[in-house]
Amino acid sequence: MDAVLDNLPLYWQGFRTTLTLTLLSAVFALILGTILGAFRVSPIPSLRAFGLAYVELVRNTPLTAVFFFAVFVMPRLGVVLDFYITAVVALSVYTAAFVCEAVRSGVNSVGVGQAEAARSIGLTFSQTLRTVILPQAFRTVIPPLINIFIALTKNTSIAGAFFVGELFNVGRRLANDRGDAVLWVLAGVAVFYLFITIPAGLLAGYVERKVAFAR
């Protein structure tokens, strides 16, 4: 127990890094994922194909492999970045594929009649999208998005194994230092993660009930 209490500042530092890593990656993943999602529902075949290829490729690649590429292979190709920035890039690129799928299925979940009705009263494509489809799709997309970002929070732990000083990294270092209190040290790390993921999970459930509407 005292192994945790003595090192609280270290934990706090790791927790902050985990939090900023999650938030930054979430923002970039949201932007990239929404663009890719728009590609996937667009009328232009080449963009659709690109979106599909990206999603299939990334979804079938383990996140560890993405990190491996970013940390060990990219420097050999002349791209040398700070480990923290590398982690944000890897996490964003990976998570964007899942955001894209959530956006696409959100758009597809809006009834065909909605778009048809919008067109029949003379709205243009962009008007249909902006005033009819997206406001409805948004509600369907929110709960899966929260779940994706919970998964992202847990995935930041992989960054810890690739030289970013976040919670997992702190835990592993402390566990090596304090061989006598490994279970306490790791339980401390787990509690900090649960601190983020369990409230977020409850929020997801609440939002899901709140925005649910009969179709």
Partner 1 sequence: MSAVLYDEPGPQARRRILFGSVVGGVVLAAGLLWLILKLASEGIFDSDRWDVFSDAVVWESFGRAWWATVRAAGVAGILALLMAVVLAVWRMAKNPVLRIPGTIVVELLRGMPLLILILFLLLGFGLTSFRALVLGLTLYNGAIIAEILRAGINSLPAGQSEAAYAIGLTRGQTLRTILLPQAVRRMLPSIVSQLVVLLKDTSLGFIVAYVELLRTARLNADFYGSRYIFSFFFIAAGLYIMTNFAVSRVAVWLERRGTTKAAGRAPVLVKPDANI
Interface positions with partner 1 (CB under 8 A) = 41-48, 50, 56-57, 59-65, 68-69, 72-73, 76-78, 95, 98, 101-102, 105, 107-108, 110, 112, 115, 119, 125, 128-129, 133, 143-145, 147-148, 151-158, 160-161, 168, 171-172, 175, 182-183, 186, 189-190, 193-194, 197-198, 201
Q: In angstroms, rounded to a whole number, what is the distance separating the alpha carbons of residues 87 and 71?
A: 8
Percent helix, strand and coil across the chain, each to the nearest 5: 85, 0, 15
Closest approach of partner 1 to the CB of residue 84, in Å: 18
Give 31 or 64: the residue with its C-beta nearer to partner 1: 64
Closest approach of partner 1 to the CB of residue 77, in Å: 5
The structure tokens listed for 177 are 């230092």
Asked whether the beta carbons of 186 and 169 are under 8 A apart, the reply is no
Closest approach of partner 1 to the CB of residue 86, in Å: 15
Contacts of 22 (CB under 8 A, 6+ apart): 149, 152, 153, 156, 196
Q: In angstroms, rounded to a whole number, what is the distance separating the alpha carbons of residues 15 and 194?
A: 11
Closest approach of partner 1 to the CB of residue 208, in Å: 9
Could you tell me how many residues make up the chain?
Answer: 215
The structure tokens listed for 27 are 């923002």
Give 88 or 153: the residue with its C-beta nearer to partner 1: 153
Give 12 or 72: the residue with its C-beta nearer to partner 1: 72
